[in-house]
Structure formats: structure tokens, C-alpha cells
Structure 1
Amino acid sequence: MTSSTPRRTVLTAALAAAAGAAAAAPAASAADRDAPSAVAEPSAGRHTPEPGLVDNSGWTTYTDWRSGDAAGVRAVAGRRPGLVIDTPNGRTDYTDPHTGTTSTWEYAAWTSPVHVSTVPATEVIASWNADTPAGTWLQVELTGRYSDGTATPWFVLGRWASGDGDIRRTSLDDQTDGRSTIWTDTLAVDDASSGLRLLSYRLRLTLYRTPGSGLTPTVWRLGAMASDIPDRFTVPASEPGPARELAVPRYSQNTHVGQYPEYDNGGEAWCSPTSSQMIVEYWGRRPTADQLAWVNPSFADPQVCHAARYTYDHQYAGCGNWPFNAAYAASYDDMSAVVTRLRSLTDVETLIAAGIPVITSQSFRKEELTGAGYGTSGHLMTVIGFTADGDVVANDPASPSNEAVRRVYKRREWENIWLRTKRYNASGKVVSGTGGVCYVYFPAQPTPAQRKALAAVGIG
């Protein structure tokens, strides 16, 4: 139902081993040679925390981009402020691990101010929104300070390009300092029961371009979601709010079974990009005919194939990298996107009431979600509304046809399978859940009502 193995499933199986493994250096990057040995003292930074268990922080304004440490970049003002290459800080050779090709790139970098999380965190997931024209790409890194006063190294959280002609977009596994580990798109403390937490962090953005080209990526948003979700098999039930349903396009991933197997074995694993494409089109964006020209003309809904190709993570070997899906959505004109966690279906109702659908990640046995007809170790769906009884109206891409995509699921079942962090699989083994992970895509210039709803769930 989903791309490859979900990260939380991997975490459950691997954290114990990681805790006892020898520390390994993070993957080398062009900017690593001047990496600080510790995080600088905290400075003021704009953030919109979600009370309780989740903290969202982001840099999006002209003032934000003029803070931090710049090395060859400059902030640009305007309707949508951003960060671009000004005078490159140097050149470096990058050997793409997925093609073996070595190329020379100019680069420049920006390092955020320290963000002190309102939630001492066990996990951190970054998001970025950017334009990366052909001949450019970017890298996102994080360093943080633990509750015992020590610091992490610089961890690479992703190498991203919206196209795939210059580099292969990729996460980098096997990064650890023996205390935290990068699992595809998530920094996770190896042993949360020890009490160790990440208290603060800085993000570093490195922009790359073909030497002498004058090209540049433009980054409009960079941020992270830090969280400390307790282990739980069940969560409290929320009270239903007003009924509303949004008119979201319906696409089935199963329409694409066997198509383009080089992208995670075909449509049977494309729940994430299929969900992303539904919401991108809800907001009135879609690929152009020229962008879809590579797709076999006999295939229905070629834009779903396009979304799979351009969210594909060559390290993870799947289309389910959470930040990569958000970055894909934000590659469309005037779109913003973040990965976060929400507290309850009440938060989702707040967004739906403002016209903002939500893509949620969950795992469950067949009998745990009435009417689904399947079980899954990880699956993405879109929540598009609520019935008068408070039940969830979802566009479920794991449906036999586009016409069958709209489903109604019982509120209590849905809320629990989405928000829990522990569950029993079909063999009776304790495995993990996502703890409320979701993607939220919205216009770069939201309406006042949308802005208020986003702020209410911790997104600024």
C-alpha cells in the first residue's frame, strides 16, 4: 500500500541495534569542512509551536532569510521572499552514489539561527519548499544540542532536486553518532527511554549550481517539526465537529499497478505520490503536457506517474519519503507544504473547515479499519471531510478504481490507527505507528481564514 518499508517500522526494528552500534560519521558534504563542533548559543527565531507534543519552526520571511549565517547567499524580497545564490562560496566535486557520475558544482550556504524547541524532542523531520531549475540542487542538514549539553554532528537530511537530470534525489541512511540516527527522513533519538532529548537545533541549507551558469535554486521555506510522542496503543477520542466535505480529485494508485517498476515497483506502492497529486490538483495545479510527455500515452492519469517519478528517493528506493513529497507539492507555483504531526481529528477538522485537506500516514490490520478491506504496515490517504456523525471522509488511493476512491471510515477507528505509536500486527508482534504524521499543502498566500487555521495547528 505504501512505498517500501515505513520509517517507523524500520525504527522499531532497528533502534535497539543502533543504540549499541559504534558511532559512524555522517555522509560527507561540500560544506562539512567548516562545520562547527557545537551548536551556537540560541538566538531569536520566528516559530509557530504546536502546544504539547509537537513544535513547528520555519524560516520564510525576508527578515528570516537575513538572519543566521550566510556564505555566498542573499535574501530576496517580494511577494514570496526567498534565498538564492549570490556569489558562490566555492566549488566541490560530488559523486552521485546512484549513478557513479562525478560532477563539479559551485555552492553557497545558509545556516539558520539556533531554534530552541518548545518540545524536548525524540524525533525531528525537516521540510523545505524550493524551486530547483535544471542545473541546480540543494542539500539540507541539521545539528542539534542534547539535554546533557553535548551536540550532534551535522546530519544530512536530504539532497533534493525537483528534476532528475543533474543528481538523483536521495536520503542518506547509516548516519549516527551512537545516540541518534537518521532513518530516511527522520532524526530519531536511539533510546528515548534514557531520557535523552534534543533541545535545540540549527538547519544548514547548501545551494548548488553548474559552475559559471548564473543559475540558482530559490528556497522559500525551510523548517522542521520536532516532537516527543509518548508510546501509546490508544489515544483519547475527540468530539465530532461540523460536517464538511471538500471536492478533491480522486485517483487510484491501483490504476498504475506494474507501471514504471523502476519507481518502487509500480503503482501498487504509490499511495504517497497519488495522495500528493490529488491535493496538488485540488489547489488547481498540475504538470504541463510537456512535463508529461515522457509517460506512455496509453496510461490513464499520467500525472500520477509523474508524481511517483519526482518524489522517488533513490536511497530509500521508494516514493514515500515524507519531506520529498512535501517538496514535490511545493514545486508548483505558489504552493507551500510541510510535514508535521497533529494532535487529533479536531485539528484536521480545523483545517478542513478552512478548505485545507490533509494527507495522513497510518498502519493497521484489516479488521481495525472497517470497510478498508486490507491491512497495511504503512499507507497514505487524504482526509477530505467529515460526515454529520463525525466519521472520516477519505480519498483512499488503495482502491480498485478512481470511482471507488472516496471512502467513509469510522471516526474512532481512524483516529486511533493514525495517532497511536504502538500496535499489534497480524502476528501479534508489537510494532510501531506514525504518531499522527501528515502532510499539509496550502497556498503560499493563504486566505485569512486559512492562515488562522494553520496557526491553530502550529503551522506558520
Structure 2
Amino acid sequence: MTAAQPSVVYREWSSDEGFAAGVSEGVRGTGALTIAHPVGRETYADPYGAGTKAWDYARWTSPEVSVGFGASQLVASWTADTPHGSWLQVEMRGRTGAGADTKWYVMGRWAADDPGEGGDIHRASVPGQGDADGDVDIDTFVAVGSLTSYRLRVTLYRLPGTEVRPVLRSVGAMASLVPERETVPVSPPGGAEGIELDVPPYSQEIHKGQYPEYNGGGEAWCAPTSTAMVLAYWNTGPSRQDMSWVDPSYADPQVDHAARNIYDHNYRGAGNWPFGPAYAGRFGLNGFVTRLRSVTELERFIKAGIPVVTSQSFKADELPGSNYSTNGHLFVVVGFTPSGDPIVNDPNSPSNAEVRRVYPRADFENVWLRGSSSGGIASIMYPPGHALPPNIPGTDPNW
């Protein structure tokens, strides 16, 4: 790894052995955690209109993870089942480069359904957490100095007097240090040349104006549209009953369903990075957010049969063939041409038929990895038992 590349480490807990390494307070399970008995009760006033309720809770705290460098950012992600009458909160506490422990920062409050669907809280990021050590910018902890280690804490909530069992199946975090480079060199071929995965193409633009309470489709729905494409590739997603609330005249109602159930009521949008994999998790997929360091690494996922959602910002002339500019946009990398250019399902297209694009490798790599963009953010969603490519620091905790 050269000095110009991002430093990235991802760590996940999703097994008996992994969860046993942490501290359990009232939780138990085999390969996942649920409430065995409450260890406390809290009152939560939902700031978005769901009222004030008391909640019993149990929690799990991870062991301390040494990052191995001075991380400037951290993104947590998780998969869980939150039946009606339950929800969860994910927090992070770090150790600074000066050796001091930070407070606990809330990385997200998650419920699979919103109150209109029988859920109990509005899923949301939490604003106003900034202090001398850092702040949470919607989905990303941004350190004032650096983090050398961290712990995660997950609190499972349920209504008092009930036996509702929220289930935590996985939780992890990606810590990184992204160089402030504006030009990223093109990476060598990674062996996925000529491979194209059969990912169904969905356009976000055909949903423009739909459900303004969830940001109204169009350019605001790149994340749910990309997530819906990946779910369809894995032959899973919402049932007809799940989507019965969607106007029957709307095409691809699974996109509307994803938008409603990824929507962050604090951010007022559907672009919260970990909410996409968390949504995929309700349909049984594993999922997490990380950073990759090159298109070569991305190719290894395509070789493994895993499409990758990437986040990037660019002007139209910086990504030939895009014909638009964006301050932040997600799409799905589904393959590579024989010459190594990425094949992308870009939801910012007028119709489903026009979603498939080919972008020049060097230009795509530059606008994805540079410091002023996302620094290589990628969402990985895949079925349990489907092997990830090994020896990639952004996905392999053993690297």
C-alpha cells in the first residue's frame, strides 16, 4: 500500500465467537443477539411525532478495536430484525490520538418500519453531537484530531411487559484516513474484465414526484433505487403485501418501498449510507459500508458475483458519458468491459432501458476515490454463506 492510498480497516461482529468477545448486558443468542432480560428502562421522546414512550432495554458492547493508524472518520453499519414494538440504537466511543476516551456518539437509531407501517419510532441520525473530539455528520463520525481505537455499543429496545425480540445479526465499523488528493492514478486490471452481473436496471427518474414526504423521488432516490437493484439481483425484497401501500400505477414499487424504509427523518433524505445495508438486512442479506482503495479491489467483488454500490461526486465533464453533475450520487457497479472499464447501473437515467452505462476506468476511479468525493465509499450486500473476496482491508477483519 502506497502512502497516497487511503488507510482502511473494517471490523464486524456477526458470530457466536465474535459476540462472546464483547460485554453482554441482558442479551443472548446463537449467531445473533436478542433480549434475554431487560437491564434497564428509558423514556424516549421521538422528535418526529411518534410521541414519548418508555422502553425496556438490553445491550452489547464490543471489545476495543485498535485501528492501527490515526483514523479521521468512522462509519458504523448493522443488520437486524426489529419487529413492531422494538428498535435499536448504535453508538461509538473512540480513543483519541492524545489517549483520551471520547463520549458515546449515536451513529443511528433504526427501526425497520416507520410509525405509519406499525413501527414505533422514526429511524434517524442524531444531530448536535459535536464536541472537542469530533461530530457525527449524518452517517460518519468525523474526528477533530484522530482515533486510534474504538468500541461499538448496540442497545436493543422493546415495549415494557412484552416478549418482543429484536435481533442484532451483525454490527461493524469502518475506520479510515483518506488523503486529500485530487488526482487518483488508475489501477491495474483485477481479473473481472468481461464479467457482467445480471443486475436489473431501475431508474430513479421515473419516480420523480412520488411520495414527497420521503423526498419525492428523482435525484433524491439514488440510494434506495441502487439498493433495490441489488436486492432484485439476489432475488429478494419486499412482498406484494409489503408494497400494498404504493400507488398501483407506479412502476417498480420496490423502489418506493426502499425509499420509505431507508428514509432518515433527521437528514430528511434517503441517502444515509448504513441505512441501505440495514434495509437489505430485513430481507436476510448481510450488509455493511466500507471504503475500497482501488477499482482493482472493486473488481474482486464482481469476480465473486457481488455487485457493489459506490458513492461519488463529480462535474459532468469529469465523468464522460454521465451528462450530469452531482454533489453526491450512488450507483451500482455490475461488471467490467473486456478493456477494464466499469459497467454501471446508474439510476440517474430517464428510463430503465437507459440505466446501463459504461464509464471510463480512469475517470470513474478518480471521481470515486479522491478526497473531495467519498474517498471510495462502497456498500456491500450479499447472502449469508456467499464468500467475500479475502485479503481486502476494507472488508476482511483478518487482513
Structure 2 counterpart of 1:444, which letter? Answer: P
Cα distance in 1 for residues equivalent to 2:98 and 2:220 = 41
Query: Where does 1:448-459 land on structure 2 (aligned, <5 Å)?
Result: 450-451=387-388, 453-456=389-392, 458-459=394-395
Match for residue 175 of structure 1?
129
* Contact kept in structure 1, 2:50 and 2:121, CA below 8 Å: no
SS at match of 1:322: coil
Q: How many Å apart are 1:237 and its aligned residue?
A: 1.1
Match for residue 314 of structure 1?
265
SS at match of 2:287: strand
Structure 1 counterpart of 2:123, which letter? Answer: R
* Contact kept in structure 2, 1:157 and 1:171, CA below 8 Å: yes
Match for residue 97 of structure 1?
47
Match for residue 82 of structure 2?
132
Structure 2 counterpart of 1:357, which letter? Answer: P
SS at match of 2:214: coil
Match of 1:279 among 226, 230, 244: 230
Residue range with higher mean Cα deviation, 301-310 or 100-109:
100-109
* Contact kept in structure 1, 2:21 and 2:62, CA below 8 Å: yes
Query: Where does 1:172-251 land on structure 2 (aligned, <5 Å)?
Result: 172-190=126-144, 196-240=145-189, 241=191, 242-251=193-202
SS at match of 1:255: helix
Q: How many Å apart are 1:216 and its aligned residue?
A: 1.3
Segments of structure 2 that go 5 or more residues without pairing to the other structure are none
Percentage identity across aligned positions?
Answer: 49
Structure 1 counterpart of 2:146, which letter? Answer: R
SS at match of 1:380: strand
Segments of structure 1 that go 5 or more residues without pairing to the other structure are 1-50, 191-195, 422-431
Match for residue 441 of structure 1?
381
Match for residue 297 of structure 1?
248
* Contact kept in structure 1, 2:291 and 2:394, CA below 8 Å: no
Match of 1:404 among 354, 359, 380: 354
Query: Normalization by structure 1: what TM-score?
Result: 0.82
* Contact kept in structure 2, 1:138 and 1:207, CA below 8 Å: yes
* Contact kept in structure 1, 2:298 and 2:308, CA below 8 Å: yes
Match of 2:16 among 35, 40, 62: 62
Match of 2:106 among 143, 152, 156: 156
Cα distance in 1 for residues equivalent to 2:391 and 2:8 = 13
Match of 1:256 among 180, 191, 207: 207
Cα distance in 2 for residues equivalent to 1:376 and 1:120 = 30
Structure 1 counterpart of 2:185, which letter? Answer: P
Cα distance in 1 for residues equivalent to 2:217 and 2:355 = 18
Q: How many Å apart are 1:266 and its aligned residue?
A: 2.5
Structure 2 counterpart of 1:361, which letter? Answer: S
SS at match of 2:254: helix
Q: List, as ranges, runs of 4+ consecutive aligned residues in structure 1 with deviation greater than 3 Å.
A: 454-458
Match for residue 96 of structure 2?
146
Structure 1 counterpart of 2:241, which letter? Answer: D
- Does residue 356 in structure 1 map to residue 310 in structure 2? no
* Contact kept in structure 2, 1:181 and 1:189, CA below 8 Å: yes
Q: How many Å apart are 1:67 and its aligned residue?
A: 2.2
Cα distance in 2 for residues equivalent to 1:454 and 1:308 = 32
Structure 1 residues 52 and 410: alpha-carbon distance in aligned structure 2, compared to 1, 3 A threshold: closer
SS at match of 2:227: helix
Match of 1:166 among 115, 120, 129: 120
Residue range with higher mean Cα deviation, 407-416 or 112-121:
112-121
Query: Normalization by structure 2: what TM-score?
Result: 0.94
CA deviation profile, 1:227-264 (whole Å, cap 9, x unmatched): 00110101121123432100001100001000001112
* Contact kept in structure 2, 1:153 and 1:177, CA below 8 Å: no
The aligned length equals: 386
Match for residue 8 of structure 1?
none
CA deviation profile, 1:117-166 (whole Å, cap 9, x unmatched): 13320000001111111111000001111011111101000000111121
Structure 2 counterpart of 1:184, which letter? Answer: I
For the aligned residue pairs, the C-alpha RMSD in angstroms reads: 1.3
